Amino acid sequence: MTARLADIAAQAGVSEATVSRVLNGKSGVAAGTRQSVLAALDLLGYERPVRLRQRSAGLIGLIIPELENPIFPAFAQLIGQALTRRGYTLVLATQTPGGSTEDELVEMLVERGVAGIVFTSGLHADSTADTERYARLRGQGVPFVLINGFSPKIDAPFVSPDDRGAVRLAVTHLTALGHRRIGLAVGQRRFVPVQRKIEGFVAATRDLLGQSEEESRRLVQHSLFSLEGGQAAAGALLAAGCTAVVCASDMMALGAIRAARTRGLSVPADVSVVGFDDSALIAFTDPPLTTIRQPVAAMSQTAVDALLEEIGGTPTPHSEFVFMPELVVRGSTAAGPSARSAPAPAAPAPSAADPRGDRTPSAY
């Protein structure tokens, strides 16, 4: 119990005596302090004492496309925590190959009386999908918010990372290292985040390398958002002479590293690889992956806030909340051929260490 009190006190930033008073339901603790202790309980995975458990304000559905890509469990965890702090209970609905469709999952959630739904990387991100399904859902009076993949045809709040800016960060980093032939490995063309990443790639390679749009698009390979998909896409880019590959997910980036090694190439000595997401444990791969950190925590909190405002009858503007990404430099990128043949630049000033691996934060 002493260790548990110490953990909770450290997380909440209060004394163990204050934690004890809150857990025992005693008076004399400010409301904000009490809430901090309860939030610490939730974050550390402790169950609240029965007398302190807040009655659920309702169910919120979260639809995600899969669990294999660690970015989606990360969204689920953070959205669930944010909802718990507001008295709601998360109902997770996951699509699986051969399993329920998004429409079937929505129907199931509506039948169970959810107060609202969060869609993450769903059909709304597919530019070829029929958006009428979302109009019907709104007609049923079910509030919802959508993460990753904006559509002007859908009347709802959207939350997205800056996909164009993310790719520019990666290309800027790689060109600064001396790479001149950079490839882009992405998913299928019909998805809005893919289209935006390609736009960012074309603009960045034009501005930084003087490439024509046609030349840049020849260095874009479409595949699946998976390790195998990244391996296939990167293999084609390496065959085209690329010395660096920017990938649309960390899983694809791991596939790109595999593609390089199967060709007898070393990462990063021969080929540099940049991922996207900064998924859990990605700092501990071999080599630790340079990646674009998707601001999952901020996006999750904003999605929850927007949805609860919709539920509360004070809807947010039906537009897109766009979050800037962050470049996290680790061990999968190094000097390109042109930099190795040039005089060495002056050493940069030291930067703060990333607890999950060395990094150099950048802003776009």
Residues 99 and 181 in one domain: no
Element containing residue 10 per DSSP (H, E):
helix 2-12
pLDDT in the model for residue 53: 57
Give me the pLDDT at residue 347, please.
Answer: 44
128 shares a domain with 189: no
- Rounded distance between C-alpha atoms, residue 253 and residue 250, angstroms: 5
Claim to verify: residue 72 and residue 133 sit in the same structural domain: yes
Q: Are residues 72 and 100 in the same domain?
A: yes
Residue 262 lies in a domain: yes
Q: What span, in angstroms and rounded, lies between the C-alpha atoms of 144 and 124?
A: 12
- Tens of pLDDT, residue by residue over 92-145, are 999 877 788 999 999 999 998 899 999 999 999 999 999 999 999 988 889 999
Q: Are residues 20 and 116 in the same domain?
A: no
d(CA 138, CA 132): 10
- CA dist., res. 84 & res. 39, Å (int): 9
pLDDT of res. 341: 58
C-alpha 268/C-alpha 302 separation (Å) is 36
The whole-number pLDDT of residue 52 equals: 62
Range of the domain at 84: 58-161+296-323
Same domain membership, residue 198 and residue 174? yes
The residues near 25 (Cβ < 8 Å, ≥ 6 apart) are 49, 51, 52
Task: Note the pLDDT of residue 98.
Answer: 77
CA 175-180-182 angle, 5° bins: 85
* CATH value at residue 260: 3.40.50.2300
The predicted model scores a pTM of 0.79
Residue 287 lies in a domain: yes
Q: Which pLDDT value is given to residue 31?
A: 76
Residues 183 and 319 in one domain: no
Would you state the pLDDT for residue 192?
A: 97
pLDDT for position 343: 52
How would you write the pLDDT of the chain (364 residues) with one tens digit per residue? 455 888 888 988 999 899 888 888 787 888 778 878 888 887 887 877 766 655 556 899 999 998 888 999 999 999 999 999 888 999 999 987 778 899 999 999 999 889 999 999 999 999 999 999 999 998 888 999 999 999 999 999 999 999 999 999 999 999 999 999 999 999 999 999 999 999 999 999 999 999 999 999 999 999 999 999 999 999 999 999 999 999 999 999 999 999 999 999 999 999 999 999 998 889 899 999 999 999 999 999 999 999 999 988 887 777 899 999 999 999 999 998 766 655 544 444 443 334 333 333 322 2
pLDDT given at position 345: 47
Closest CA to 59 of 88, 85, 87, 84: 88
Q: 184 and 264 share a domain?
A: yes
pLDDT of residue 354: 43
> Are 210 and 105 in the same domain?
no
Our count of domains for the chain comes to 3
How far is the CA of 131 from the CAs of 10, 20, 64, 137, 257, in angstroms?
47, 52, 17, 10, 37
For residues 219 and 318, state if they share a domain: no
Which residues are CB-contacts of 165 (< 8 A; sequence separation ≥ 6)? 200, 324, 325, 364
